[in-house]
Chain A
Amino acid sequence: MSQFKKNNTRYIRYMLLLAASLWVLWPISIMIEEGFRVDIGPLFSGRGASFIGEFFQGQGGIRFSTIEYVKALRIEAYPRLLINSVIIAGSSVLVAALAGVPAAFTLALYNFRGKPFITYSLLALRTISPFAVLLPFFLIYGRLGLFDTYRGMAIVYLIINLPVLTLMMRGFFKDIPKEIYEAAFISGASNSYVLRRVALPLALPGLAAAAVFAFVGTWNEFFYALFLTGTVTKTVSRGVWSGFSESIESFKILEFDELNAGGTLAIIPAVILALAVQKYLARGLTLGAAK
């Protein structure tokens, strides 16, 4: 009896797990599937029943086709958007790492007067409403000619990358046992030597995880891209929404098949990268609260 009950609860658990997976995967699978569709209905519109060869075609209908993917990658500017996103996210993460890692080292090891201020402003920068900084950027970029340039976009994305890298790296530096630092300092090493030769090599997996995490965040970011990119630097997440072509898209009709194909192409790298740093996801998203 007890064995039966145990088996029963296991089945129920597996059913629930499968149901939860369905909740996660179903919308994604629909998107992928709809990207592979083409509606040939318009070919037959107004003609009633049609025949191609000897086969009854009804009112046209929906066919399997890879045309949307081919179109996105071969005809439209989708590869360009991928390159744009990689350039912008990569350079922004690089700058954030160069500035943030030494600061994270200092925040992790020392107590000094301005420390709460720095932590607070980093936390606030992470959670700030984009509109609070957006309009000054919009006005200044218009004046300086940084609007729709790689440099400008890399600077804007520091708003999200700098806090993520600094606060995550602070946690990783803190994870290194104090004795290691003490031993290094007692033997007369300077701060920069300890950072380069002791702390960084030990925290290297953490740095890679933080960089990948920030990269995915920038890749997925939509808001700043919507306002500050134009035809030159349009990123993937913006292109998915407003069309991948390089021309001005305001008069473009929203095509659902294209949207779904673009969405599928956009999430593939993000999902792969995020699964690679899965262990650190909670840590990155809560800025170090969940270890």
Chain B
Amino acid sequence: MKTPYGFLIPTLFLIFLVGIGPVLQSFLLSLSEFSLLNPSMSPVGFHNYIALLTDSIFWNAIQVTLFLVIGSVLLELIVGIFLALLITNSGSRSRRVFSSIFVIPIAIAPIVTGILWSPNSVFDDLNTLLYYGLSLGAYIDTSIPSTYYSLIMISDAYIWAPLFMLVTVAIIHSIPKELYEAADVMGASAWTKFQKITFPAIISSPIIVVTLLLRTADAFRMFEVPYAWSFWLGQDSILGSPVDTVSVLMWKMFSSTLYDFPIAQITAMAIVLLIITLATCSLVLRRYSNVLE
């Protein structure tokens, strides 16, 4: 049959309307001097980008973002694999019950996760337990960077570890049973089986690589959880504070001086993020297009 090009028209129109069009306009905005008070656009070339790349606040945000991206994606992967191993090794009924429990965080709005893991709710009770309940006299100080970075990572892993669990369960189910039978015949221990069969199968699977890449691209725009944390720490209006991911920094620039926010600089930053996204997507499609088919 002939390709029904007409079927593609609505989707193409919408892609241009909400995707390519706005991105192009963002790019134009990032190349010009523009503000709401003075809405005439005058082209300034790559001036905004140069200003951005020489700005220590931006580099701080990039560092924080990279740190949080790497930390939380790794934590998600590890927790996800751990959950998957627990699930696949139990009986079918408990498997169904527990996997339903474990996927709940995916359905929770990220901003609600920001509330769930706020210093006021979880850590209040945890600190009471640590300080008085167990009489340790120790507590988690949520206001020092080394702590709240890990807490942001934990909050993020709380949402996304179940995704890695689901993916890993699918991979484990696709490992041929004969491999395990052969290992049993040779008298391998459970640990050896994990080390020699399960773990290599998980790590080398293109599905997990694609999931990792998509999650990494997603994590670069991480907003809700760090935003909530910047609020809990009372740093929601300080530019260049140690909670600023790039997205949070853009939000702060947007909201701090509402009537003359630096649109051009914000869009320049967004374009930098966009390039990271596009590069990741083309990597996924070039190397792993058969996985996504």
Contacts and interface: CB of A to CB of B under 8 A. Distances in A.
Given A13-B86, A118-B15, A129-B274, A278 B121 contact: no
A222 B110 contact: yes
B158 interface: yes
A289 B205 CA distance: 11
A17 B110 CA distance: 24
A282 interface: yes
A78 interface: no
Interface string B253-279: 010000000010011011101100110
Nearest to B274: A132
Contacts of A185: 1
A203 interface: no
A155 interface: yes
A112 B12 CA distance: 14
Nearest to B4: A191
A130 B110 CA distance: 15
Q: Is the interface of B mostly helix, strand, loop or mixed?
A: helix
| Interface class of chain A by DSSP | helix
Nearest to A263: B112
A77 interface: no
B170 A291 contact: yes
Nearest to B117: A27
Most buried by B among A185, A285, A289: A289
Interface residues of A, number: 93
B172 to A, nearest CB: 12
B18 A158 contact: yes
A116 B163 contact: no
A121 B19 contact: yes
Contacts of A119: 285, 289, 292
A124 B20 CA distance: 10
Interface in B115-157: 115-117, 120-122, 125
Contacts of B11: 99-100, 102-103, 118, 162, 166
Nearest to B116: A27
Interface stretch (B50-58, B176-184, B214-222): B214-222
Given A98-B10, A120-B282, A285-B163, A106 B104 contact: no
B37 to A, nearest CB: 13
A110 interface: yes
B217 A223 contact: no
B3 A125 contact: no
A51 interface: no
A93 interface: no
Interface in A107-144: 110, 112, 114, 116, 118-125, 127-137, 139
A127 B280 contact: yes
Interface of B: 1-5, 7-8, 10-15, 17-23, 25-26, 29, 82-83, 86, 89-90, 94, 98-112, 114-117, 120-122, 125, 158, 163, 166-167, 170, 206-207, 210-211, 214, 217-218, 220-221, 223-224, 228, 246-247, 250-251, 254, 263, 266-267, 269-271, 273-274, 277-278, 280-282, 284-285, 288-289, 291-293
15 contacts: A17-B86, A98-B10, A124-B281, A129-B274, A135-B26, A166-B11, A191-B4, A220-B107, A220-B110, A222-B223, A240-B112, A281-B106, A281-B166, A282-B167, A286-B210
The 6 A-B pairs with the shortest beta carbon distances in the complex, nearest first, are A274-B107, A102-B7, A99-B10, A282-B166, A220-B109, A103-B11
